[in-house]
Structure 1
Amino acid sequence: MTLKELLAGLDILSSSADLNTDIHEVQYDSRLVEPGDLFIAVPGAAADGHRFIPMAREKGAACVLCEKIPEGDVPFVQVADTRRALAVVGGNRFDHPARELTMIGITGTSGKTTSTYLIKSILEQKAGAKVGLIGTIQNMIGDRALHTERTTPESFELQRLLREMSDAGCTHVVMEVSSHALVLDRVYGIRFAVGVFTNLSQDHLDFHKTMEEYCDAKALLMRQCDVGIYNADDRWATRLMEHADCPRRFSYAVNAKADLAAKNVALHAGSVDFDAEADTEWSHVHVGIPALFTVYNTLDAMACCWNLGVPLTECADALAKNHGVKGRMEIIPTPGMDFTVLNDYAHKPDALEKVLRSAKEFAKGRVVVLFGCGGDRDKTKRPVMGEIAGRLADFVIVTSDNPRTEKPEAIIDDILVGLRGCGTPHVTIPDRVAAIHYAMDNAQSGDVIVLAGKGHEDYQEIDHKHYPMDERVIVAEHLRDMRK
């Protein structure tokens, strides 16, 4: 493509480049630049891409797209915002694949992953759709799984992925849209047929600083969708929808008055049942995933698909065949043992509280929780999570999550600030594998052991390195040792 074609739709402030230049490829990482490429200098949290313009030029970049005019004889195009420009260029480079797809975006603190899988399942079973999925656990093109590094890819990579999905025959894409992605313009320029807000609770305050800023970040999705679906039971919903520019709004709730409501909710050890009511439609719903928050995840999935033309009865039929998502209220098999091991990704205060309350609803013995907090992340939630664990669990094992560059013991000390005042029995075991062994070795009849924080992850991050750690494998191996 020519430089002019790649820059279509951008307001150019100044330029020294020949816009008719043929561009080989687009790069925003100077290490990947090859002769004839366009290098986009994007400011980042860790480093400013403008620092690497000399390297890009040395490696043969034909032009630099930048916010600050570079020194020396460098063909450049100056724009006001290169992060947004990256998204626009990506759309041009891959011929705007989102326009060929029915785009569905899910945002919120908790429930995004499960909701995307439920929506995918309904649309594939009842709408004859081939669905692409983009999210925390993995990306998917139909049944084909792809590795993912972050919840929402960088804008250029997102456009590349959407092009691959469209070319593979996908008709719909359902994706998790993180607050970071919205603020950093990773989904800039994409129009969503449906945007869904699940809930808001404390998280990412190291990035957003306040809950109000966090809420306003989530609200950005509601400004680029045709139908805005929101949880009317969430206390932040009013603020979130105040400035929503979507042509249509649609609410769901268990308690509040809403367009789609759950009635006669019944929670069981391994499932939920309720009646879904919207306008003149009604359907009984059974989902084989325990916990009240499953009702909310199911409601937002049904609300989304109903707004895309799938009747409630058809949604319910598809949901009855769904058995959950890896690392979300996942029961790890412990055959022959009289205790239950439950694995959940809960690594935030609200999520931890939800999973512990859910476990208490069906536990015949104690609720034992094993958890830690991630290093290099919001420190304010550590004592909060300690207090939640101490208040709701019968026994607490404080251990490591992904310590990253922090000392595990320092993270544990922060957690203990909130836990010590509860008077709940607890131990600290920094080694997470040893902590899991301890929990299993000391389990009592009827106990539910909640392994919180890792969920689908099969690694532990320490000092920028990933070490293998799959809790399903750890439990299975120790189970064999216990039987010996």
Structure 2
Amino acid sequence: MKLQELLQGVEVVSASVPLDMELHEVCYDSRAVGKGDLFVAIRGYATDGHRYIGKALEQGAAAIVCEEAPAGAPAIVVKNARRALAEIAANRFGHPADAMTMIGVTGTNGKTTTTYLVKHMLEEAGHKVGLIGTNQNLIGDEVIETERTTPESYELHALFARMRDAGCTHVIMEVSSHSLVLDRVHGIRFAVGVFTNLTQDHLDFHKTMEEYRKAKAMLFSVCDKGVINLDDAAAPAMLIDAKCPCLTFSCDKDEAGLTAKNIVMRADGVDFLASTMNELARVKLPIPGHFSVENALAALGAVLSCGVTLEDAAKSLATATGVKGRVEVVPTDTNYTVLIDYAHSPDGVENVLKAVRGFAKGRVVALFGCGGDRDRTKRPKMGAIAARLADFCIVTSDNPRTEEPQAIIDDILAGMQGTKTPMQVIANRPEAIHWALDHAKADDVIVLMGKGHETYQEINHVKHHLDEREVIAAYFAQKK
């Protein structure tokens, strides 16, 4: 491929290489550079690719795209290397996103379930759908493992190309606040953007809740239509910032364009009457919890914006299934219940524990920790919420990363001071799970929060295998 073809639409400041030169491949990781490649030096969250230009050249890079070029380097200087990478990636793969209907979902909680519900409804309507998200990426039924919620722009366009070539007509994807700020989705035009909610998370990156909200709002400047949760406190500001017409949804505000009425909570799901200006339909979703109603409304808003009727969408929700690590029931063959959930923020913990309390016949037992090297201010808040909503708390570790597990636990316990809720502190997570199972009583619901779909515990930059389902299965195998 020729350099000038890759640079179509890129804002170039200067170039010291011939634009008609042939290149082999595009790389932004210097470790992957080969002879004849184009290396794009981007400024990352943890490091700066400009530091590795010399290494890339040593490994055979034919040209460098960067914001600051070393003397004598064969370089194309651009104003914004991250945006340039996104534009180069789109050119490299033939602008695959333009060939499909793009739907993006942003928000603190509910993104993953919402995307799976959208995928299910669109497939029921006869479309082939690609999905990009926290749990995994999907091309129809083909599973592609993922490292982060929204991949870097180069991997993203490569994935779009695979989806396009496989015949996908729609792509539903989680769009993280990081990806919006760091230009991973730069240049993508979304047919529909969805906002689920905004609660405290990622303040280690965004610093303030308003900056976090503004990051989420960026999605609605690159959408044709928006779908906004009117029940969330951030909704008015999101609607003001949106640059597209928006459909609002609500569980209790009649002025919303899509509402849920006559909500019935069951241990195995939720029922409600979905209503728009022109349509009514009874929804039966086999996923429990009030947040499931909100997720269903968000997903319904997305598919309605894509032309699916409310009646057809509601029918398909009846056959939807839950998402791994989201209020997931673990088989135990006992007289108590064990659930795994990804809740790792104050709002997430509150939502799942309230949902469980709505159907638990016995005690609600909360087992949780907080991630290391992340926003410390949410730790005591999560502790306080768990102590308020659970009947028993087990405080443990959840990806301590480079921090001491006990130091993180101490931050959590600070929010639980003065509570009368009994608790146990066990830093080792498998041991904490064993303790919970050893002390379970009839009709208890034990909620393992934080890991969800994850199958590892990250300690000092190393991901150690830890699948809570396996821990539970091994526990019961030893009991036989």
TM-score (norm 2): 0.98
The answer as to 2:6 corresponding to 1:2 is no
Corresponding residue for residue 219 of structure 1: 217
Corresponding residue for residue 30 of structure 1: 30
C-alpha distance in 2 between matches for 1:112 and 1:241: 19
* More displaced 10-residue stretch of structure 1: 234-243 or 88-97: 234-243
Alpha-carbon deviations, 1:87-122, whole Å to 9, x = none? 000011001000001000000000000001000000
Q: Number of matched residues?
A: 479
C-alpha distance in 1 between matches for 2:129 and 2:459: 35
Corresponding residue for residue 75 of structure 2: 76
Q: 1:480 to 1:34 in 2, by over 3 A?
A: closer
C-alpha distance in 1 between matches for 2:92 and 2:337: 51
C-alpha distance in 1 between matches for 2:438 and 2:266: 27
C-alpha distance in 1 between matches for 2:237 and 2:350: 23
Corresponding residue for residue 331 of structure 1: 329
Q: Secondary structure at the match of 1:460?
A: strand
Corresponding residue for residue 367 of structure 2: 370
C-alpha distance in 2 between matches for 1:422 and 1:236: 31
CA contact (8 A) 2:11 2:84 kept: no
Alpha-carbon deviations, 1:149-185, whole Å to 9, x = none? 0000001110111001100111110000000000000
C-alpha distance in 2 between matches for 1:159 and 1:331: 35
C-alpha distance in 2 between matches for 1:303 and 1:200: 18
Corresponding residue for residue 250 of structure 2: 253
Q: Secondary structure at the match of 1:421?
A: coil
Corresponding residue for residue 101 of structure 2: 102
Q: Secondary structure at the match of 1:267?
A: strand
Corresponding residue for residue 166 of structure 2: 168
Corresponding residue for residue 457 of structure 2: 460
Corresponding residue for residue 110 of structure 2: 111
Consecutive unaligned residues of structure 1, counting only runs of 5 or more, are: none
The answer as to 2:60 corresponding to 1:63 is no
C-alpha distance in 1 between matches for 2:157 and 2:36: 21
Corresponding residue for residue 271 of structure 1: 269
Corresponding residue for residue 432 of structure 2: 435
Q: Secondary structure at the match of 2:191?
A: strand
Tell me which amino acid in the other structure corresponds to 1:68.
Answer: E
C-alpha distance in 1 between matches for 2:279 and 2:175: 30
Tell me which amino acid in the other structure corresponds to 1:263.
Answer: K
| Post-superposition offset of 1:479 | 2.3
The answer as to 2:147 corresponding to 1:149 is yes
Corresponding residue for residue 318 of structure 1: 316
C-alpha distance in 2 between matches for 1:145 and 1:215: 31
Tell me which amino acid in the other structure corresponds to 1:21.
Answer: M
| Post-superposition offset of 1:311 | 1.0
Tell me which amino acid in the other structure corresponds to 1:57.
Answer: L
Corresponding residue for residue 388 of structure 2: 391
Corresponding residue for residue 43 of structure 2: 43
C-alpha distance in 2 between matches for 1:345 and 1:52: 36
Corresponding residue for residue 196 of structure 1: 194
Corresponding residue for residue 399 of structure 2: 402
C-alpha distance in 1 between matches for 2:159 and 2:356: 38
| 1:223-302 correspondence runs (5 A) | 223-246=221-244, 248-256=245-253, 257-302=255-300
Q: Secondary structure at the match of 1:13?
A: strand
| Post-superposition offset of 1:130 | 0.6
C-alpha distance in 1 between matches for 2:462 and 2:410: 23
| Post-superposition offset of 1:44 | 1.6
* More displaced 10-residue stretch of structure 1: 145-154 or 314-323: 314-323
TM-score (norm 1): 0.98
Alpha-carbon deviations, 1:196-252, whole Å to 9, x = none? 000000000000000000000000000001111000000001112212112x21011
What percent of counterpart residues are identical?
57
* More displaced 10-residue stretch of structure 1: 54-63 or 101-110: 54-63
C-alpha distance in 2 between matches for 1:47 and 1:232: 38
| Post-superposition offset of 1:322 | 1.1
| Post-superposition offset of 1:406 | 1.1
Q: Secondary structure at the match of 1:370?
A: strand
Q: Secondary structure at the match of 1:419?
A: coil
| Post-superposition offset of 1:265 | 0.4
The answer as to 2:468 corresponding to 1:477 is no
| Post-superposition offset of 1:69 | 2.5
C-alpha distance in 2 between matches for 1:480 and 1:429: 22
| Post-superposition offset of 1:5 | 0.7
| Post-superposition offset of 1:480 | 3.1
Q: Secondary structure at the match of 2:312?
A: helix
CA contact (8 A) 2:43 2:50 kept: yes
| Post-superposition offset of 1:317 | 1.1
Alpha-carbon deviations, 1:395-444, whole Å to 9, x = none? 00000111111111111011000012222111100111111111111111
| Post-superposition offset of 1:18 | 0.5
